């Protein structure tokens, strides 16, 4: 496996691409393994993107552990780890990506983190421009992000037939979605966080909210939405339960399919 820092060193023949912010765990490994299903080389990018963090968020504190990440990426079957600096990523001028509706209308992460998807779309666009992937793999864990990236790729033509592949959320044995931010949780908070997993299967917004509040979580939103637009659910269409809540000072997000 190669570890590279410059876009010019990326494979020229196209690749399966897994963008990450590092602090890799088994959720990321699941993406890399899923990407490792064809003859195409798997490229994992590791870049903690400053522009998707608001000034009050955890950009400085975000866990960084490149050596360990390299081992995890290698074990999961990556051929290349691409770890650019911010100077390299933001070197070239690029027109802003117009945000798709799913990045501005649902009033979920877009409301709580108003600059977040602008940062995400613009860094992912830059990474796609560098890597020119055939397929790119995103976790359902960040469900609104997945829908935003799918919409961005439909809207922009410059990545050709790029396919966005959705990978189911990897969970711990207690059901809690794996996340780099789980490292911030105390063992007591981790117990509390289980309420999120229970709430996702309730199927009624009142019930979700009651359970989360009862468990002592500071709920940002706990909603049931149309699984595609993330707007109000439509009779007969797939629905998704989506939650953001703080456990102590750690903000967690999770979501699940509803029958």
Q: How far is the CB of 157 from ligand AMP (least distance, A)?
A: 23
DSSP β-bridge partners for residue 247 = 250
Letters for 180-199 (x = contact with ligand AMP by CB under 6 A, - = none) are x-------------------
Q: Does 159 bind ligand AMP (CB under 6 A)?
A: no
Residue placing its CB nearer to ligand AMP in the complex, 72 or 223 = 72
Q: Does 97 bind ligand AMP (CB under 6 A)?
A: no
Which contacts (CB < 8 Å, 24+ apart) does range 201-205 have? 201/241, 201/256, 201/258, 202/241, 203/241, 203/258, 203/259
Q: Does 116 bind ligand AMP (CB under 6 A)?
A: no
Which contacts (CB < 8 Å, 24+ apart) does range 70-73 have? 70/1, 70/3, 72/24, 72/25, 72/28, 72/29, 73/1, 73/24, 73/28, 73/32, 73/44, 73/46
Q: Does 254 bind ligand AMP (CB under 6 A)?
A: no
Q: Does 133 bind ligand AMP (CB under 6 A)?
A: no
Q: Does 16 bind ligand AMP (CB under 6 A)?
A: no
Residue placing its CB nearer to ligand AMP in the complex, 147 or 209 = 147
Q: Does 28 bind ligand AMP (CB under 6 A)?
A: yes
Give the Cβ contact number of residue 129 at 10 Å.
Answer: 13
Residues that bind ligand AMP in the complex, under the rule CB under 6 A: 20-21, 27-28, 30-31, 138-139, 141-142, 167, 169-170, 177-180
């Amino acid at each position: 496996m190669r570890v590279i820092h410059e876009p010019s060193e990326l494979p020229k023949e196209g690749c399966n691409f897994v963008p990450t912010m590092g602090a890799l765990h088994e959720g990321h490994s699941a993406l890399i393994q899923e990407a490792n299903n064809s003859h195409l080389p798997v490229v994992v990018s590791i870049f903690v993107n400053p522009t998707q963090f608001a000034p009050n968020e955890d950009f400085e504190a975000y866990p960084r552990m490149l050596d360990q990440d390299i081992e995890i990426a290698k074990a999961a079957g990556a051929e290349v780890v691409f770890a650019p600096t911010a100077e390299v990523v933001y070197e070239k001028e690029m027109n802003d990506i117009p945000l798709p509706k799913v990045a501005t209308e649902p009033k979920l992460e877009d409301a709580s983190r108003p600059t977040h998807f602008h940062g995400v779309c613009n860094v992912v666009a830059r990474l796609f421009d560098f890597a020119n992937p055939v397929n790119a793999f995103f976790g359902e864990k960040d469900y609104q992000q997945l829908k935003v990236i799918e919409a961005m790729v439909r809207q922009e033509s410059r990545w050709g037939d790029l396919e966005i592949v959705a990978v189911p959320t990897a969970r711990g044995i207690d059901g809690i979605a794996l996340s780099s931010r789980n490292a911030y949780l105390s063992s007591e908070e981790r117990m509390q966080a289980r309420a999120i997993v229970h709430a996702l299967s309730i199927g009624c917004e009142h019930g979700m909210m009651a359970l989360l509040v009862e468990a002592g979580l500071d709920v940002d939103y706990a909603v049931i939405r149309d699984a595609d637009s993330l707007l109000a659910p439509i009779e007969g269409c797939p629905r998704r339960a989506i939650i953001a809540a703080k456990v102590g000072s750690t903000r967690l997000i999770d979501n699940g399919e509803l029958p």
